[in-house]
Structure 1
Amino acid sequence: MEWLYDLFVHHRAASAWTYATRAYLLMLVGSTIFADKTFTLVEARYLLLFRDLDGCSRYSWGAAALVTLYRYLGDASMYSCKQLGGYPTPLQCWIHEYFPTVGKRGENWKPAENCGLPRAMRWSYRQGVLKV
C-alpha cells in the first residue's frame, strides 16, 4: 500500500493522470473491498481490473465485496483463524438490520426524510455500550 501511495503521488505530480488514477483505485479497493488481514498488501492481479478505466463503472463492485467477505467468513469459521479479513461494513450493516437489539437506532433517524441516505446511517454507536 505504501508503494502504491508513493506511485500515486509521483504520477499525480507528473500529471500522468491515467497512472495516478490506476494507483489510487488499486489502493482504494485494496484497503476496502479486497482488503486482506494485514491491510498493507494488495494482490497484483487486481490491477487487471483497471486496464479499461471507462469500463470500471460497469463492474458489480457490491457483488465482488460480498464474494470476498463470504470467502473470508469461511476462513474465519475455522478454529485456527483468529481474525476476519475483508471489508466487514456490509456484514455489520446486515447484523444491525436483522438483529435490532445489537445496536440502538439513531435518535435523529427519520425514514421519511432520509430515504436517500445509506441504510448504515440508521444506527448510532457509543463506545463501550452494547445492548444485547
Structure 2
Amino acid sequence: MADGTVLISGGSASTDEQSAYLSTEIYDPSADAFTPGPDMPSVRYKHIGTSLRLPWGGILLAAGAQQAALYDPALRSFTPVPGSMGSAALSRLFATATHLGDGTALIAGGYGIGQPVTSETWVYGP
C-alpha cells in the first residue's frame, strides 16, 4: 500500500472452500510485524495474482470468492464491488488480474468450483 504496508487476505486451512478465511492481516516490513486487519465481505482463497492496487490507493480483490471487494486503506474497511463483478459470476479460482493503464483492471481466466477452466474476462472500472 502507499505507506509501505502489505495487505494479506484470505487463504484456507485445507483445499476446500469450507475452511476458507474471511480474515486479513496487515504486514509492516519496517517493523517486521503483523497486525489484524478487517474481515472481508466474503471468504477468499486460491486468489493468487488477483489483488491490485488501484490509482486512488485502494486494493481490488477479485476472484477467489463469491464477489469482488475493494479495500480502502484510509478507512481500513472493505466494500463489495457492485454489478456482475460482485456476483457469483466472478467466483473464479486462480484467475489473473492486470492493470490496463487507464485506471481499469482486466480479470481473466481461472476456474469455478466444479467447473472447467474458463477464458471469460471481466473489466473493473471505477
Question: Which TM-score tier does this pair reach, normalised by the shorter chain?
Answer: under 0.3
Bigger share in strand: 2
Task: Please identify the structure whose Cα radius of gyration is greater.
Answer: 1
TM-score of the aligned structures, taking structure 1 as reference length: 0.25
Bigger share in helix: 1
TM-score of the aligned structures, taking structure 2 as reference length: 0.26
